[in-house]
């Protein structure tokens, strides 16, 4: 098809098409690297930063500078690449962390503190007032040095909501540029996400960020709902990598924003290529049924589906593979009927008479490889074989 997008008019009429004021902050280079067993090299981090910038991601969280000298050097190098994206880094509510961020020439520093009872008791062994005071001191120091500041409430989703509101309101007095709700353990659902973001938005004027983890498999859905409730900055990672079960998936969120809300700001045609790079650099294989970039995202085997796809791809595809830099794959397997097989054979450039087609379908059904689906090369070998007899 010439177009890479299907008509928005074909969406079901209950889908919300209201405009959203959003930006993407991709945290692959920081939170993504906290995936067990993952450590990106300097060149890999720079390459991923360049790719994210080319897609149109507005903010790239490049790392956690205080972790090591090499981490600090890489963050500084990314900050000075001249990218269109703003470069962000992470800092605890500690002056030394903020100084490391200042040294890196970043645009934004994300200063975090946890205020949930659980973290106060077992991690900090301090009162909420004490840890909040530390955070405000770090924020003031960062603002005095000209940095934009994101005040992030770690474990926000297990923090008393009134405590959270008061903290964000107080942070506004220090002129923070963002307040961030971190669902650190992935406890949110779409309903609770909408409620929490809506409640915070009632009392703060500062742009709200949402940072979701995927422990219940809802990180992308929660992030989309947060945007619909008024969150501005949406946090993602490529392929949804991250601690434990990972973060909200960049590719899933960008496509959802485009399909559900008509947001075409981002170059989604690069999603498959950046996904493959992340897979290579991280050593983490992508699930074949992963939405948008999985091997099976545009693969069809069922005879009824294949016949319809050959006639009109929209019958069984929400969006085109070209829209995300992917390819359609029609698989011959045990569910493939004669009509669908004929269409696939014709699509490969072959013509078979009725007897040859019957012979081919018989070979396909009895082939030991059929369980996994036949490759194009194996099918062509079979076609040549039945034509030669």
Q: What is the pLDDT of residue 324?
A: 97
Is 272 a domain residue?
A: yes
Per DSSP, 286 falls in state P
Same domain, 223 and 313: no
Lowest-confidence range among 92-96, 102-106, 359-363?
359-363
Among candidate residues 227, 251, 282, the one where a domain is terminated = 282
How far is C-alpha 95 from the geometric centre of its chain's CA atoms? 31
Is 14 a domain residue?
A: no
Q: What is the pLDDT of residue 2?
A: 38
Does the pTM surpass 0.85? The reply is: yes
Same domain, 200 and 86: yes
- Mean pLDDT score, 326-332: 84
Is 9 a domain residue?
A: no
Q: Compute and round to an integer the Cα radius of gyration of the chain.
A: 25
Question: Structurally, how many domains does the chain consist of?
Answer: 2
- Mean pLDDT score, 245-255: 98
Is 135 a domain residue?
A: yes
Q: How many CB atoms lie within 10 A of CB 321?
A: 19
Same domain, 252 and 311: no
**Percent of the chain whose predicted confidence (pLDDT) is above 70:** 93
More confident residue, 203 or 1: 203
Residue 265 has pLDDT above 90, yes or no: yes
Give the span between the Cα atoms of 335 and 304, in whole angstroms: 9
Residue 1 has pLDDT above 50, yes or no: no
Give the span between the Cα atoms of 58 and 50, in whole angstroms: 12
pLDDT tens digit string along 5-48? Answer: 554 555 555 555 567 999 999 999 999 999 999 999 999 999 99
More confident residue, 136 or 382: 136
Residue 323 has pLDDT above 60, yes or no: yes
The count of residues in the chain is 389
Same domain, 86 and 232: yes
Same domain, 337 and 363: yes
Same domain, 315 and 247: no
Q: What is the pLDDT of residue 5?
A: 59
Q: What is the pLDDT of residue 255?
A: 97
* CA 372 to each of CA 18, 119, 265, 343, 349: distance values in angstroms, whole numbers, following the listed order: 43, 48, 38, 20, 23
Residue 188 has pLDDT above 50, yes or no: yes
Q: What is the pLDDT of residue 357?
A: 86
Give the span between the Cα atoms of 271 and 323, in whole angstroms: 9
Return mean pLDDT, the chain: 91
Which residues lie across from 249 on neighbouring strands? 237
Query: For position 32, which CATH number holds?
Result: 3.20.20.70
pLDDT band at 367 (very low <50, low <70, confident <90, very high): confident
DSSP for 158-194 reads GS-HHHHHHHHHHHHHTT-SEEEEEETT----HHHHH
Range of the domain at 329: 299-387
Among candidate residues 251, 282, 313, the one where a domain is terminated = 282
Among candidate residues 282, 312, 339, the one where a domain is terminated = 282
pLDDT tens digit string along 293-319? Answer: 999 999 887 767 777 887 788 888 999
């Amino acid at each position: 098809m010439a177009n890479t997008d299907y008509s928005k008019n074909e969406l079901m009429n209950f889908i919300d098409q209201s405009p959203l004021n959003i930006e993407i902050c991709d945290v692959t280079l920081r939170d993504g690297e906290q995936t067990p067993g993952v450590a990106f090299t300097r060149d890999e981090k720079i390459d991923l930063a360049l790719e994210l910038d080319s897609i149109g991601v507005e903010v790239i969280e490049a790392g956690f500078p205080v972790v090591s000298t090499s981490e600090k050097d890489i963050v500084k190098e990314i900050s000075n690449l001249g990218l269109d994206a703003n470069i962000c880094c992470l800092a605890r509510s500690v002056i030394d962390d903020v100084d490391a961020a200042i040294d890196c020439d970043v645009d934004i520093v994300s200063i975090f503190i946890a205020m949930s009872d659980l973290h106060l008791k077992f991690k900090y062994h301090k009162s909420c007032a004490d840890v909040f005071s530390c955070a405000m001191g770090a924020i003031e120091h960062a603002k005095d040095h000209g940095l934009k500041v994101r005040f992030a409430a770690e474990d926000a989703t297990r923090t008393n909501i009134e405590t959270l509101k008061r903290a964000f309101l107080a942070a506004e007095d220090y002129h923070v540029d963002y307040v961030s709700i971190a669902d650190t353990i992935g406890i949110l659902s779409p309903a609770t996400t909408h409620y929490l973001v809506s409640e915070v938005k009632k009392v703060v004027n500062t742009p709200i960020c949402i940072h979701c983890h995927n422990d219940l498999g809802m990180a992308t859905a929660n992030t989309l709902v947060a945007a619909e409730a008024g969150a501005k900055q949406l946090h993602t990672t490529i392929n949804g990598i991250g601690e434990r079960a990972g973060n909200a998936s960049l590719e899933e969120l960008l496509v959802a924003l485009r399909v559900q809300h008509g947001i075409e700001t981002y170059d989604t045609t690069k999603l498959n290529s950046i996904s493959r790079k992340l897979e290579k650099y991280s050593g983490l294989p992508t699930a074949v049924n992963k939405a948008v970039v999985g091997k099976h995202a545009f693969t069809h085997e069922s005879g009824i589906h294949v016949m319809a796809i050959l006639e009109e791809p929209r019958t069984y595809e929400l969006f085109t593979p070209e829209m995300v830099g992917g390819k359609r794959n029609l698989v011959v397997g045990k569910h493939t009927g004669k009509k669908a097989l004929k269409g696939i054979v014709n699509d490969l450039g072959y013509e078979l008479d009725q007897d040859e087609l019957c012979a081919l379908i018989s070979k396909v059904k009895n082939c030991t490889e059929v369980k996994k689906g036949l490759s194009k090369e194996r099918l062509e070998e079979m076609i040549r074989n039945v034509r030669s007899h």
